[in-house]
Structure formats: C-alpha cells, structure tokens
A and B are shown apart, each in its own frame.
Chain A
C-alpha cells in the first residue's frame, strides 16, 4: 500500500538515530519558535484553555439556571450576559465556558483512551507479526468500517444514565482503528532495524523492547496521532450531543446546538445561541489540526518550507 510507504519514508526522518538528544531538542525548539503554524495554533489553544478554566470562575452562573425574567436577550455587556441568554433565560456565556471545558475533557480522555488502545494493538500487531498480526489486523479492519455513530446510537439509546466519562470511554473504544493501523505500519518499519535486533539479542522481553526501543523512536509520530485523536473525539462528541445522545445533566457545546435547534432559535433569529458553540469547536479542533501540521513540519525536515 502506498500509504504504508508514505509512513515509512516519514519514519526515516522522524527517527534520526544518530543525532545526540540534546542537540536534537534544541533544533526542534529552534524550528518550533520559527513555525508560524505552530505558534498561532498554540496561542489559540492556550486562549481557549484559559477560557475553559477561568471562565466558569469569572462567571459563576449555573449554566442550567433558568432566569425567567431575562429570556431571549441578545448579547450585551450592560446586563452582564456577554453572549446573551437562551429562550429559557440561561446564560449563554456560562454555557459556552462549561461546554468548552467539557470539550477539552472529552478530547483529552476520549483521545487518550483511543491512543492507548491504538498503541497497544498497533505495537503488538507490528512487533509480533505472524498470526497475531493477522487477527489484530482483521479486528482493526472490522472496527474501521463500522460507523461509530451507528454503534453509539444503539448502545447509548438503551442506557438510562449517561455521563461524560462514559461518552469519553466509548468514543475512545471506537476511534482507535486508524491509529492502530498507522502505528502498526511504523512499528513494522522499525522492527527490522539493527538496534531492535540488538535489544532482542540482549534478552529483553517483547514489551520492554516496544516500550524502551520502538516507542521512543516514534514518539513524535505518536504525539501527532494523539493530537488528531483529540480533535476527532471532540467532533464526534459534538455530533453525539447534537442528536440527543450526549451526557445527561451536563453542559456541552454540542448540547447547546441541540437545544438551540430544538427550541427553534433559527426561526426566532437567536443567532447568539448557536454561533458561539460552533466557533468554539471550530477554533479548538482547527487549532489542533494546524498544530499537527506545524509539528509535523518541525519534526520532519523534508516538509519544512525553505
């Protein structure tokens, strides 16, 4: 497959085995501080993170508190409702901050869980090879074609209580396949290198070789994979919340859009209700994707624009 060849070519560069680590670190930092993509995306992410952490403290209104005296108000600084209020009188800014927090949480946990599963399966399949590889590959292919949303549809519909943690775990459990496939391909290309043979000859067990020899040599690749899984988890969670399968009793950006649509905010012209959550997701996920490319260019000299 060409995609595999692609990945091989990349690993050749992302794993400079001869460079001393200190010099390499300094070089990475040098290119990181010069990469516009990296700097811009990291600043956006930091701003969003600050809003998600500090926002609920600055504006401690309960996102679900319904203030009947102040409904459908457009954004105004005068009233203290910066983003306006919903049809039920809930504070949109408070919902936005809490939703952003939930998005970070889902991305961190869901993406992390998917990365762990992907690494476990990808490393095992790529390193062991043989029939273990065949079976894991088949498993990966099966999970790869099953549409996540459809599975979540039947499972979550039957659960009477759903939490944020459940959502994160479930997203993790269904979005690992492409990561596993990519990591397997990378592991495959590293497996036949001399230093791996040497480590094996020295009597190290399979897991030790993977953890101490293979994983560190593709750490940048693993990090990039995690960033993509992070962003993907946020988008999936938003879709789930939007069709009404999200966590109950909590606030999220997808749920804000769900409420806005079911309460006919479009017909009422309440743009301030559904615009902020979308911008939040777009900025967050977009910044993650751009950071992924920026880091790719930092780690991989071939992609740097001269």
Chain B
C-alpha cells in the first residue's frame, strides 16, 4: 500500500517538475524574443514611462542576463512562493489572483458534471448491456453524444434553449444587472446561467460512460465466472451485480485517463457560454497575448489534474480490495 502510493506520488511529482520545466523552457527556446514580442504588442498602448517600467519588469522577471541554471533556480524559487507574474487582462493583478477568481466557476461546472455523468452513464450502460431494445436505443445515442465536440453541443443547446425558446440566459456567469451578493435572486440567476454549460458537459460525458460500461458488462457476462454462476442456476440479477462491480474498476481508471479531455471540454464549453471560469480566461489570454496568465493557467490545470488523479487513486484503493491486500509486486 505504501509502495503503491509512493509510486503514484513519485509519478505525479515527476510530472509536475516536467510540466514546470516546460513552462520555463518554452518562452526561452521558442523562436523570437518574448520580451520584444510583448513590447511590440503592448508598448503602443502604454505611456513611455509605463513601457520602460514594463520592460524592466519583464527583463527582471526573466532575468535573461543570468546564466541558464540560475534562471531556472530563480524560476522555481518564485514558483514555490506562488509568484507567477502579473496579468495583462487583470490590469496588473497577480496571475494567481486572477486565476483564483475564475477557478470556483470551473469547479462548480466540472465536479457535478463529472460525478453525475459518471453515475448516470454507468447505470444506464449497465442496464443496456445485452438487453435488446435498451441497447438499440442507448448505444446509438451514446455514440452520437461521445463523438460530439463539447463546444458544438453547447452552441446547439444555447441556440435552441436560449436564443429560440428563451428558457435560459444566453451567456455569462450571472446577469449583467446583478452584483454578486448572498441573495435568493442572485442564487437563482447563478443557477440559471450554470444550467446550460453543465448540461452540455454532462451529456457528452454521459455518452462515453454509458458505452464504456455497456461494453465492460458484456465482457464480464461472457467471462468464466459468469458462465459458472449461470450454470449453477444463479439469478440473472445476481450475475449482473457481480459483473457491475467488476466492470466498475476499469471505469474508475477510465475516469483518471479522461480527466485531461474532460478539462479541455470544460474549457471550450465555458468559451461558448462566456462563462467566467478558467476556459474564458484561457480564451482571453490568447486573444490578448497575456503570456504570464497563459503559463499560470497551464500550471494550474496540471496541478488540478494531478490532484484529481490522486483522488481517483485513493478511491480505487477503497473500492478494489485487491489493491489493499496485494499491492506488493503488482504492476501499478
């Protein structure tokens, strides 16, 4: 057990170090001088005094006159102090602050969408396996949903439910006429804006989980233990219950594997709805060439995915007794 988690944590630490190194490496080794690039795009909008201040700030932060190894160590130093630079979009606010303001919106979308779609998808998939008419209806729907680009489903939903039928608001995190307060009107408005992005994320993911579960259950129902139970005359319900419990494990692993794709899906969905989460931040940082913000978001996403992966590992150990008993020597 300690070995299992030790290995996992080691992988995550390596991943983080690698990611941070990429983050450091890219502005330095990509063609073109990023400071010049920044200056040409932003100096025109700034007064000369501000421009020189910005330039010296950038050069100071990059420390480009120092040897590379020292630059690298400095980078880690400021990173561990939570200093990721200042954001252009955020009018000079620290990048960490700008991101932190957006993270709650993204999490409020992602966590319910992931958990509910996983639960619903697995339940429906398990029901559908080897049951003619359910299978014939859920399988095509699942395939269509899972092949749908997240942003397109979002566009379609908002066109149908916001533009045509005006049931939900078109975009944003809350109404433009409201100020965030702890009132009932604000809360309902928040939920109304949340519904459509949540729904489009939920639906696409649902398709994937349903298909995965359906296929897994069929594998399990064809396996020797199911056949043996059947020959003993065990009721179908019992066999399916065993099949479900076994099929759930790969689905948990699948959740960990899918996290990157899911996060990407949430980002593009937010862009469609102009939802004020990390996705819209990404979009605006690209449009405004806010490189510090981009790099900050990159690290944030990676850390988030790593933490989520670790949580999945813990859940896996809780759910699968075999990992607890005999993790030693196993290939984790």
A binding-site residues for B, Cβ under 8 Å: 1-4, 6, 9, 137-138, 141-142, 144-151, 153-155, 157-160, 178, 231, 235-236, 238-239, 242-245, 254, 257, 260-261, 266-267, 269, 271, 274-275, 277-278, 281-286, 288-290, 293, 302-303
A157, B156: Cα distance in complex, Å: 28
Contact in complex: A148, B260 (CB < 8 Å): yes
Contact pick for A281, options B31, B152, B257, B261, CB 8 Å: B152
Contact sample, A vs B, 19 pairs, CB 8 Å cutoff: A1-B330, A3-B250, A145-B11, A145-B256, A146-B19, A146-B302, A146-B305, A147-B301, A153-B294, A153-B298, A158-B26, A239-B149, A254-B149, A266-B170, A278-B149, A278-B156, A282-B152, A302-B219, A303-B218
Minimum CB–CB distance for B241 against chain A, Å: 16
Contact in complex: B286, A157 (CB < 8 Å): yes
| Contact A257/B152 with A149-B264, A151-B22 known, Cβ cut-off 8 Å | yes
| Contact A149/B267 with A142-B18, A281-B147, A289-B147 known, Cβ cut-off 8 Å | yes
A158, B155: Cα distance in complex, Å: 29
Q: Among A2, A145, A236, A293, find the residue whose CB has the most chain B CB atoms closer than 10 A.
A: A145
Contact in complex: A138, B14 (CB < 8 Å): yes
| Contact A154/B295 with A148-B260, A245-B286 known, Cβ cut-off 8 Å | yes
Contacts of A157 in B (CB 8 A): 286, 289, 291, 294
In the assembled complex, B234 has its CB within 8 A of some CB on chain A: no
A284, B291: Cα distance in complex, Å: 35
| Contact A289/B249 with A153-B298, A158-B27 known, Cβ cut-off 8 Å | no
Contact in complex: A239, B147 (CB < 8 Å): no
Contacts of A288 in B (CB 8 A): 147
Contact in complex: B150, A239 (CB < 8 Å): yes
A145, B302: Cα distance in complex, Å: 8
Given A239-B151, A243-B268, A267-B170, 17 extra CB contacts under 8 A: A9-B219, A145-B256, A145-B309, A147-B302, A151-B22, A153-B298, A157-B291, A235-B149, A238-B151, A243-B282, A244-B286, A261-B155, A261-B272, A266-B163, A278-B148, A286-B143, A290-B143
A275 to B, closest residue via Cβ: B156
A239, B270: Cα distance in complex, Å: 12
Question: Count the A-B residue pairs with Cβ separation under 8 angstroms: how many?
Answer: 181
Contacts of A144 in B (CB 8 A): 257
Contact in complex: B260, A286 (CB < 8 Å): no
Contact in complex: B223, A9 (CB < 8 Å): yes
Contact in complex: B149, A159 (CB < 8 Å): no
Minimum CB–CB distance for B216 against chain A, Å: 8
Contact in complex: A145, B149 (CB < 8 Å): no
A269, B143: Cα distance in complex, Å: 28
Contact in complex: A2, B250 (CB < 8 Å): yes
Contacts of A9 in B (CB 8 A): 219, 223
| Contact A278/B15 with A151-B22, A158-B30, A261-B272 known, Cβ cut-off 8 Å | no
Contact in complex: A257, B298 (CB < 8 Å): no
In the assembled complex, B237 has its CB within 8 A of some CB on chain A: no
A185 to B, closest residue via Cβ: B331
Contacts of A283 in B (CB 8 A): 147
| Contact A239/B264 with A145-B309, A289-B146 known, Cβ cut-off 8 Å | yes
| Contact A239/B155 with A153-B282, A160-B31 known, Cβ cut-off 8 Å | no
In the assembled complex, B123 has its CB within 8 A of some CB on chain A: no
Contact in complex: A244, B15 (CB < 8 Å): no
Minimum CB–CB distance for A282 against chain B, Å: 5
In the assembled complex, B48 has its CB within 8 A of some CB on chain A: no
Minimum CB–CB distance for A142 against chain B, Å: 5
| Contact A286/B156 with A138-B11, A155-B26 known, Cβ cut-off 8 Å | no
Contacts of B31 in A (CB 8 A): 159-160
Contact pick for B302, options A150, A159, A239, A277, CB 8 Å: A150
| Contact A147/B259 with A239-B150, A266-B170 known, Cβ cut-off 8 Å | yes
A149, B27: Cα distance in complex, Å: 17
In the assembled complex, B78 has its CB within 8 A of some CB on chain A: no
Contacts of A261 in B (CB 8 A): 151, 155, 271-272
Contacts of B272 in A (CB 8 A): 261
B246 to A, closest residue via Cβ: A2
Contacts of B107 in A (CB 8 A): none
